[in-house]
Amino acid sequence: MDNKETKPAAGMATRREFIKKASTAAAVVASTNLFKTPVYGQNQAPSPGRVIGANDRIVVGYIGVGNQGMAHVRTQKEFATANNIVQVAVCDLSKYRAADAHKYIGGDIQEFDDHRKLLERKDIDAVTIATVDHWHAQCAIDAMQAGKHVYVEKPMTRYLGEAFQIADTVKSTGKALQIGSQICSDARWHKAAELIQAGKIGQMVLAQDSYMRNNPKGEWNYPIQPWCTPEDVNWERWQGKVHNKKAFDADSYFRWRKYYPYCAGLLGDLIPHRLHPLMLATGSPEFPSRVVCLGNKAAHTDANTSGTPERDVPEQVQLLAEFPSGLNILITSSSLNQVGLTSIIRGHKATLYMGGGNRIELKPEPAFSEEIDPQVIEHLEPSGEKINEMEKNWFDCIRSGKKTFGNIDLALRAQTVISLAEMSQRLNIMCLFNDKTRKITTGDGKEVTPITYGTLPLS
Range with the poorest average pLDDT among 78-92, 279-293, 304-318, 353-367: 353-367
Q: How confident is the model at residue 18 (pLDDT cuts 50, 70, 90)?
A: very low
DSSP code string of 333-378: EESB-------EEEESSEEEE--STT-EEEEE-GGGTTTS--EEE-
Which residue, 459, 219, 119, 193, is CA-closest to 352? 193
pLDDT at residue number 156 = 98
Q: Is the pLDDT of residue 2 over 50?
A: no
pLDDT in tens, 255-298: 999 999 999 999 999 999 999 999 999 999 999 999 999 999 99
Domain boundaries, the chain: 58-183+387-407
Per-residue pLDDT band for 50 (boundaries 50, 70, 90) equals confident
Q: Could you tell me the pLDDT band of residue 44, with boundaries at 50, 70 and 90?
A: low
CATH 3.40.720.10 fits 58-183+387-407, yes or no: no
Nearest Cα to Cα of residue 82 among 343, 311, 393:
393
Q: Does pTM surpass 0.75?
A: yes
| Percent with pLDDT over 90 in the chain | 86
Convert the pLDDT of each residue in 119-132 to its tens digit: 999 999 999 999 99
pLDDT number for residue 45: 61
Q: List the one residue out of 351, 187, 158, 166 whose CA is nearest residue 260.
A: 158
**Cα torsion angle, 37, 168, 411, 329, sign:** positive
Residue of 181, 76, 127 lying closest to 408 (CA atoms): 181
**pLDDT over 70, % of the chain:** 90
What is the sign of the dihedral through the CA atoms of 275, 257, 336 and 226? positive
CA distances from 134 to 1, 129, 167, 210, 259 (A): 26, 12, 17, 25, 12
Q: CB under 8 Å to 320, separation ≥6 — which residues? A: 291, 292, 293, 328, 329, 330
pLDDT in tens, 251-266: 999 999 999 999 999 9
Give residue-wise pLDDT tens across range 321-343. Answer: 999 999 999 999 999 999 999 99
